[in-house]
Structure 1
Amino acid sequence: MADAALRLRSLVEQLLGVPLPVRVRAWDGSQAGPPGAPTLVVRNRRAVRRLLWKPGELGLARAWVAGDLDIEGDLYTTLDLMASLVWERGEDARTLGQALRDPEVRAAARGLVKLAGLPLPPAPPPEEVRRSGHLHTRHTDRRAISHHYDVGNAFYEIVLGPSMVYSCAYWPDPAATLEQAQRDKLELVCAKLGLKPGQRLLDVGCGWGSMAIHAAREHGVTVVGVTLSREQAAYARKRVADEGLTDRVEIRVQDYRDVADGPYDAISSIGMAEHVGADRYLEYARDLYALLKPGGRLLNHQIARRPQRDETTYRVDEFIDAYVFPDGELAPVGGTVTQLERAGFEIRDVEAIREHYALTLRRWVERLEADWPAAVRLAGAGRARVWRLYMAASALAFEGNRIGVNQVLAVRANDDGGSGMPLRARTWGTPAP
């Protein structure tokens, strides 16, 4: 067969009812599609079988992670071109049964089955999460965190660079270094929390210890950092020791729900609340409120999705849930603010920094691609492909305003109702050099 690309392209266009915006190269070396367009490389028939058995995003993700599909050309351009066919038509994949009532669609589906060969369902790649148990128990949260973070600290060093900060940086301008932008983010959080020497800070989801170390070293506070990842904790403890801060920074492998040594003067939660889950969010907010002193501040840094017309039918991103952040849930920023207020907090400031995350993700992708052989050696080809796809697609989602990220500053008021905030609090603006 020397025309697989043309047949594949024609059948897919017939099935979707729209032209494919990319070129296709098939396993037999044939090509079809617009000259000069990015090329979708279909390495084998198994890729087609994956799409037949799991139409839409998850089938494409499985083929990508397994190496059955690849892209030649600019990754961002290709994902942008494909977005309207995959992510923006997500519901279409689940209504394939209705579409198959159309004789032309049925004929296209039969043609794809014939092209794919023996139509047995390929096993998912080993990087896909096998889920069991209830969501957001201590056990399932620990397992989900381990899936994402316990993939080797050396791999994350490639992606994140020396700062080892795995959340949105705060850019003075696009030409700044990633390290400078991440330092500015940490300093911004410290400024919003009003940290002073001698205070106690709880860093929830402390990662590799960057926030804890920065706050202790630059602001003289005592810090407890908690994470569910043992690999992160071991790495963070070594960094703390290397900085000579073991008397001021304690890193624990501990669930935030089990922290019982409050009160704290301040709490930072940076890129952690996405793991909490909608059903547990009020509990999360109440637990943090209880751990703060009156007058204490919480800085909650969290990715947000846009509200849906019908929130009862909100669809979790299949690729992200299966390969990246199992059980992760995004909420609209308004819902997050409401839950924090229900827990007793007063909201003092909300800052949207969506564009900053797009810049951060593009830098992470650059670092991953620049050291690709080492990344594959450390984490495996499938895992490296997961990270490259999710970071590039996420950058486009932030740029396209499909998701956002916000820093919410909240206060546990004093007994007399005072906030302890200055009259003109928003003086943090540009972090100090």
Structure 2
Amino acid sequence: MAAVAPRIAALAEKALGAPLPVRVRAWDRSEAGPPGAPVLVLRNRRALRRVLWRPGELGLARAWVAGDIDVEGDLYGALDVLAGLIWETGEDSSGARSLLGLARDPDVRAAGAELLKLAGPSLPPPPPPEENRRRTGLRHTLSRDRKAIRHHYDVGNDFYELVLGPSMVYSCAYWQQDGTLEEAQRDKLDLICRKLALREDQRLLDVGGGWGSLVLHAAREYGVRAVAVTLSREQAVYGRKRVAEEGLTDRVEIRVQDYREVNDGPYDAISSVGMAEHVGDARYREYATDLYALLKPGGRLLNHQIARRPLADEEAYEVDEFIDAYVFPDGELAPVGRTVSMLEEAGFEVRDMESLREHYARTLRAWVANLEAAFPEAARLTSPGRARVWRLYMAASALSFERNRIGVNQVLAVKTPTAGTSTLPLRPRSWTES
């Protein structure tokens, strides 16, 4: 029988109508494709069936999570070239049938038929890996949001310690110089505190407080009284332990609570770091209005949020299937302009916006390096599939930030009193004045 990899490469190029940008190694150990390129390893026939039944990103992602495919060499380089192919060809829910019966070009149909023969029996299609998130109920209700958050965050604090490092901060770091990840995360926490102009005995609400790193920093360094809310029980247990170890139980409270359930305002300042992406477009105005109501007049909001590029036709926006199924269920991104508009419609005066896009790319590469350095332990702490999910989504996200496909922004807004005094200095860019 002829070697498998050359046949796959030739048929794939015919079906795609483009040269294959990666080298292929098949289950029979044969190879084909450009020398020196990253190697896409097909460990079994099931890998090919997954891609044929769901052409595009989701089929490749499912095969990756299941361990049916792997990449040897530069993972970032492989993802970069494969992403170009995926975006050009697009997703097609008709799966393998599009290669057989729906393609107009008879050569493409013939190539699809040959690939299906190589893949072996194709019915029924392979089921999704068990790490796929199955959801029920209406989007962005209290109960469904709790389940979505716990799917992502309640996978083990030991796993997150391995990936995030000692800071336990799961958001974009602030790289002022060639320092460590820990130093960059500390600088990010301090940047937020300075933008909020925190002072001793002020009340700070941290929405989506994670493992408590920001409220601990704010209480320790600025003397505030802080409340962090999270929907993750594991985060809350971990954060409360850190609070007790630092002797700050009289100043820091960590709650398992939805931001919509907070009713003990007003607060002097509110931080929301990496949480608004979970709110959903339909709920965003409610989110902004709720935070506005929880602030004192003159209080500041620091909203740190990932943003997508605006589209010519906003109706065309679709949530990334892999991210939605395996990483952040029900997460939605909005352009920064829409975020600013929603905050203003809720009553806020937006005073400053800072892009940290390149900072997040560097942060993600640091997390990927941590994960890769201890991958067997990461797989043991969660599951091999879950560890592969994190490696893929963080590496792909790093490229998306580097290529300006997505960004991340800190938006500083004020609940300006009717008298019009914003409480901000005339030149806030230094963030050294209060």
TM-score range, shorter chain: over 0.9
Superposition deviation, residue 89 in structure 1: 3.7
Task: Kindly indicate whether the alpha-carbon contact (under 8 Å) linking 2:16 and 2:89 is maintained by their aligned counterparts in 1.
Answer: no
Q: In the aligned structure 1, how far is the partner of 2:77 from the partner of 2:272?
A: 34
Residue of structure 2 aligned with 1:247, choices 219, 229, 250: 250
Instruction: Find out whether 1:424 has 2:403 as its counterpart.
Output: no
Q: How does 1:124-203 map to 2 (within 5 A)?
A: 124-173=128-177, 175-203=178-206
Superposition deviation, residue 125 in structure 1: 0.3
1:213-233 per-position Cα deviation (integer Å, ceiling 9, x unaligned): 000000000000000000000
Alignment-derived partner of residue 358 in structure 2: 355
Task: Kindly indicate whether the alpha-carbon contact (under 8 Å) linking 2:205 and 2:228 is maintained by their aligned counterparts in 1.
Answer: yes
Q: In the aligned structure 2, how far is the partner of 1:234 from the partner of 1:91?
A: 41
Task: Kindly indicate whether the alpha-carbon contact (under 8 Å) linking 1:149 and 1:229 is maintained by their aligned counterparts in 2.
Answer: yes
Q: In the aligned structure 2, how far is the partner of 1:285 from the partner of 1:63?
A: 39
Task: Kindly indicate whether the alpha-carbon contact (under 8 Å) linking 2:173 and 2:359 is maintained by their aligned counterparts in 1.
Answer: yes
Q: In the aligned structure 2, how far is the partner of 1:83 from the partner of 1:54?
A: 15
Q: In the aligned structure 2, how far is the partner of 1:343 from the partner of 1:94?
A: 42
Letter in 1 for 2:289: R
Letter in 1 for 2:431: W
Superposition deviation, residue 88 in structure 1: 4.8
Superposition deviation, residue 94 in structure 1: 6.9
Q: In the aligned structure 2, how far is the partner of 1:127 from the partner of 1:137?
A: 22
Stretch of structure 1 that moved more, 116-125 or 295-304: 116-125
Q: In the aligned structure 2, how far is the partner of 1:83 from the partner of 1:321?
A: 17
Residue aligned with 2:407, SS? strand
1:24-59 per-position Cα deviation (integer Å, ceiling 9, x unaligned): 000011111112211000000001111121111111
Superposition deviation, residue 9 in structure 1: 1.1
Stretch of structure 1 that moved more, 33-42 or 283-292: 33-42
Q: How does 1:215-294 map to 2 (within 5 A)?
A: 215-294=218-297
Superposition deviation, residue 81 in structure 1: 1.6
Task: Kindly indicate whether the alpha-carbon contact (under 8 Å) linking 1:99 and 1:105 is maintained by their aligned counterparts in 2.
Answer: no
Q: In the aligned structure 2, how far is the partner of 1:270 from the partner of 1:67?
A: 33
RMSD: 1.5
Stretch of structure 1 that moved more, 415-424 or 299-308: 415-424
Q: How does 1:13-32 map to 2 (within 5 A)?
A: 13-32=13-32
Q: In the aligned structure 2, how far is the partner of 1:36 from the partner of 1:197?
A: 58
Alignment-derived partner of residue 59 in structure 2: 59
Task: Kindly indicate whether the alpha-carbon contact (under 8 Å) linking 2:229 and 2:257 is maintained by their aligned counterparts in 1.
Answer: yes
Residue of structure 1 aligned with 2:375, choices 354, 372, 375: 372
1:199-254 per-position Cα deviation (integer Å, ceiling 9, x unaligned): 00000000000001000000000000000000000000000000100000000000
Task: Kindly indicate whether the alpha-carbon contact (under 8 Å) linking 1:45 and 1:117 is maintained by their aligned counterparts in 2.
Answer: yes
Task: Kindly indicate whether the alpha-carbon contact (under 8 Å) linking 2:57 and 2:91 is maintained by their aligned counterparts in 1.
Answer: no
Task: Kindly indicate whether the alpha-carbon contact (under 8 Å) linking 1:2 and 1:28 is maintained by their aligned counterparts in 2.
Answer: no
Letter in 1 for 2:53: W
Task: Kindly indicate whether the alpha-carbon contact (under 8 Å) linking 1:15 and 1:105 is maintained by their aligned counterparts in 2.
Answer: yes
Task: Kindly indicate whether the alpha-carbon contact (under 8 Å) linking 1:2 and 1:30 is maintained by their aligned counterparts in 2.
Answer: no
Residue of structure 2 aligned with 1:408, choices 392, 408, 411: 411
Superposition deviation, residue 2 in structure 1: 4.5
Distance 1:290 1:58, change over 3 A: same
Q: In the aligned structure 1, how far is the partner of 2:385 from the partner of 2:56?
A: 19
Q: In the aligned structure 1, how far is the partner of 2:347 from the partner of 2:170?
A: 29
Letter in 1 for 2:254: I
Q: In the aligned structure 1, how far is the partner of 2:419 from the partner of 2:90?
A: 51
- The percentage of counterpart residues that share the same residue type is 71
TM-score of the superposed pair, with normalisation by structure 1 = 0.97
Stretch of structure 1 that moved more, 391-400 or 32-41: 32-41
Stretch of structure 1 that moved more, 132-141 or 158-167: 132-141
Q: In the aligned structure 1, how far is the partner of 2:18 from the partner of 2:279?
A: 39
Residue aligned with 1:302, SS? strand
Superposition deviation, residue 415 in structure 1: 3.2
Q: In the aligned structure 2, how far is the partner of 1:370 from the partner of 1:48?
A: 29
Task: Kindly indicate whether the alpha-carbon contact (under 8 Å) linking 1:56 and 1:93 is maintained by their aligned counterparts in 2.
Answer: no
TM-score of the superposed pair, with normalisation by structure 2 = 0.97
In structure 2, the gaps of 5 or more residues are none
Alignment-derived partner of residue 211 in structure 1: 214
Task: Kindly indicate whether the alpha-carbon contact (under 8 Å) linking 1:274 and 1:303 is maintained by their aligned counterparts in 2.
Answer: yes
Alignment-derived partner of residue 381 in structure 1: 384
In structure 1, the gaps of 5 or more residues are none
Q: In the aligned structure 2, how far is the partner of 1:144 from the partner of 1:88?
A: 31
Task: Kindly indicate whether the alpha-carbon contact (under 8 Å) linking 2:55 and 2:91 is maintained by their aligned counterparts in 1.
Answer: no
Aligned length: 429
Task: Kindly indicate whether the alpha-carbon contact (under 8 Å) linking 1:202 and 1:224 is maintained by their aligned counterparts in 2.
Answer: yes
Stretch of structure 1 that moved more, 312-321 or 280-289: 312-321
Q: In the aligned structure 2, how far is the partner of 1:284 from the partner of 1:138?
A: 13
Alignment-derived partner of residue 83 in structure 2: 83
Instruction: Find out whether 1:297 has 2:318 as its counterpart.
Output: no
